Amino acid sequence: MTDSSSEHNIIRIGELHTPQQREFSRTLLLSPLTTTAAQQPPGLATRSTDSVIDLSMPTPVTADSGSTQTRILPGTTGNSRRKMRVPTPSLLGTLEFKIYYVICVTTIVNMIYTMYQASSPKRPEYAGYKEELSEGWMFGRMVDLSDGQWDTFRSHLPAFASLMFVYVAMNWVFRLVVVRRVSREFLQTPTKVRGFLPTLWFPFLFATVFAIILSGVSTVFILAFTGVNFILAKRFGGRRWAPVVFWVFNMAVLFANEYYKGYEFGRMLESLAWLDQWRGVLRRWDVTFNITMLRMMSFAMDYHWRVRQEDEASVRQIDALVANPKTEKDRVERSCFAQDYCFTNYWAYLLYPPLYLTGPIITFNNFVSQMRYPSPTISTRHTILYGLRLLASALLMELILHTVYCVAISKWAQWETFSAYEISLFGYMRLSFIWLKLLIIWRFARFWAMADGIDTVENMRRCMSNNYSLQQFWRDWHCSYNKWLVRYVYIPLGGRKTSTWNTFVIFTFVALWHDLTMRLLQWAWIIALLFLPEGLATWYFGKPRWTSKPYFRLLCSLGGTVNIMAMMIANLVGFGDEGVEKMLAKIFSRSGFAFLAVAYVILNMYLQVVFEWREYEYRKEYAAHEASAQWEMTDTAPRVPVTRSASDSPTLTKRQNRSGIGE
Residues identified as active-site = 514
Annotate 439-456 with b (16+ C-beta within 10 A) or e (fewer).
bbbbbbbbbbbbbbbbbb
DSSP state letters, 132-163: GEE--SSTT--EE---HHHHHHHHHHHHHHHH
| Alpha-carbon span 451 to 449, nearest angstrom | 5
Alpha-carbon distance 61 to 653, whole Å?
Answer: 7
Alpha carbons 151 and 158: distance in angstroms, whole number: 13
Q: What DSSP assignment string belongs to 188-252?
A: H-GGG--SS-GGGHHHHHHHHHHHHHHHGGGHHHHHHHHHHHHHHHHHHTTSTTHHHHHHHHHHH
Strands 632-633 and 82-83: antiparallel
- Give how far the C-alpha of residue 605 lies from the chain's centroid of Cα atoms, to the nearest Å: 31
Instruction: Report long-range pairs for 383-389 (Cβ below 8 Å, ≥24 apart).
Output: 383/447, 383/450, 383/451, 386/443, 386/446, 386/447, 386/450, 387/447, 389/443
C-beta separation of 271 from 325 below 8 A: no
| Range list of H helices, 313-455 | 315-320, 328-333, 343-350, 353-356, 364-372, 380-403, 406-412, 420-451
What are the residues whose beta carbons fall under 8 Å from the beta carbon of 425, sequence distance 6 or more? 111, 114, 115, 118
Computed over its alpha carbons, how large is the radius of gyration of the chain?
Answer: 28
Burial of 465 (0-12, 13-18, 19+ CB in 10 A): middle
3-state SS class at 420: helix
Written as one string, the DSSP assignment of 394-416 is HHHHHHHHHH--HHHHHHH---T
CB 512 within 8 A of CB 525: no
**Which residues pair with residue 143 across a beta bridge?**
134
* Angle, helix 242-260 to helix 499-514, in steps of 10 degrees: 30
In degrees, rounded to 5, the angle at the alpha carbon of residue 636 between the alpha carbons of residues 630 and 641 is 140
**Spatial distance between the Cα atoms of 36 and 586, rounded to a whole number of angstroms:** 80
Burial class (CB in 10 A: 0-12, 13-18, 19+), 114: middle
Q: Which residues is 643 bridged to in the sheet?
A: 50
Which among 299, 285, 294 is positioned nearest to 257, based on CA atoms?
A: 285
Task: State the DSSP code for 487.
Answer: I
Hey, which residues does 640 pair with through a beta bridge?
53
Coarse DSSP helix, strand, coil percentages of the chain, rounded to the nearest 5 percent: 65, 5, 30
Strands 70-71 and 50-54: parallel
Q: Which value, to the nearest 10 degrees, does the dihedral of the CA atoms of residues 49, 53, 59, 61 take? A: 20
